[in-house]
Amino acid sequence: MARAPTRAARRKAAPPTKAPKGADRPTPPGLPLGRSGRFHPPYGLGLWALGRWTKEDEARTRSSLDRALERNVPWLDTAEVYGTGRSERMLGDVLALRAEGAPRPFLTTKVSWEHLRAAQVRASIQGSLQRLGRSSVDVYLVHAPDPHVPIAETMGAMEELWKAGKIGAIGVSNFTVPQLEAAQAALKEAEIVVNQIRFNLLDRAEATPIARYCREHRIVLEAYTPLARGLLTGRYLGREKPSAEVRRYAHSMFEADRFAELQGTARKLRDLADEAKVPLPSIALHWLARQGVAPVFGASRPEQVDAVVEAWAIRPADAVLDRAEAIAGGRVA
């Protein structure tokens, strides 16, 4: 894919790096992207935290991104609102310094829910591409619907970008089934190939009917918070408590009564993982994957990337995933 001139110039000036030794093999294509003949990778790293916090946090997240590229995590997800553009800019800087011939990750970004007028959509993609140092992205998502902007106006602009080759495909995020239907009806030639929503073993009531609809209509469902903000890694099952920042972005998950219930379920799932001799995140990730869902995980430290990559490499037996489903559904005492 061609790079923007400004980024190309910077890359030319920088000394080339060597591809990391012993890097994991790229993950093969996973999920069909509608009728395009292309594929969506089975899992990826979300860069929500990239550029959001202190300089120290930002440095840790950048090192996590570097590790994800070393481990050939096949898909990177960002958005113009993440760090008000800093996430896209840092990702572009890191990708510009990659070795020649290194695997190119599948790249998705999003237009803000505050920029859904046609002119704003066009301006937003230009800004995102400039920050990313790309002439196009694989999928461009509407980050969330805005009830004050007609969906036909937004999707019309998205379809123009698709026809112009600036985006490889059209996606949405946080859309309900009726909103998906309205968005697809507004398109003349293109199709919606992705919907990204909050979905995991512990938080799935609202997502389940959306997942069913997406399967029936060949829409890839991307699941953010697949590890339930750390609960499905075993975090917060001891003395550690979620920080104020985590609580702020975890919706109702960490409300006192609900959190206690979710902790109890997570402990049962951890016991199941111990019995099956697999990592707890393996169960969480592959429970989603078995449904044709692509999990997008977050990481603020390189070792978290390592843990997810290693968990992804271990697929629990179907009987284990069936029991996890029963535990999470409250069907196991």
Among 82, 140, 224, 236, the one annotated catalytic:
82
In a domain, 15, yes or no: no
Question: Where in the sequence is the domain holding 297, given as residue range(s)?
Answer: 30-233+280-314
What are the tokens at 109? 């970004």
In a domain, 275, yes or no: no
pLDDT at 12: 41
pLDDT at 142: 98
pLDDT at 100: 84
Which of 318, 313, 331 has the alpha carbon at shortest distance from 268?
331
In a domain, 7, yes or no: no
CATH classification at residue 135: 3.20.20.100
Q: Residue 287: enclosing H or E segment and its boundaries? A: helix 280-289
In a domain, 101, yes or no: yes
pLDDT at 149: 98
pLDDT tens across 169-213, in order?
999 999 999 999 999 999 999 999 999 999 999 999 999 999 999
pLDDT at 242: 73
Q: Using a pLDDT cut of 70, give the percent of the chain over it.
A: 87
In a domain, 253, yes or no: no
pLDDT tens across 129-173, in order?
999 999 999 999 999 999 999 999 999 999 999 999 999 999 999
In a domain, 10, yes or no: no
In a domain, 23, yes or no: no
Q: How many CA atoms lie within 13 A of 197 on its CB side?
A: 28
213 belongs to the catalytic site: no
Global pTM value: 0.88
In a domain, 321, yes or no: no
How many domains are there within the chain? 1
Q: Which residues in the chain land under pLDDT 50?
A: 1-28
- Tell me the C-alpha distance between 143 and 23, whole Å: 32
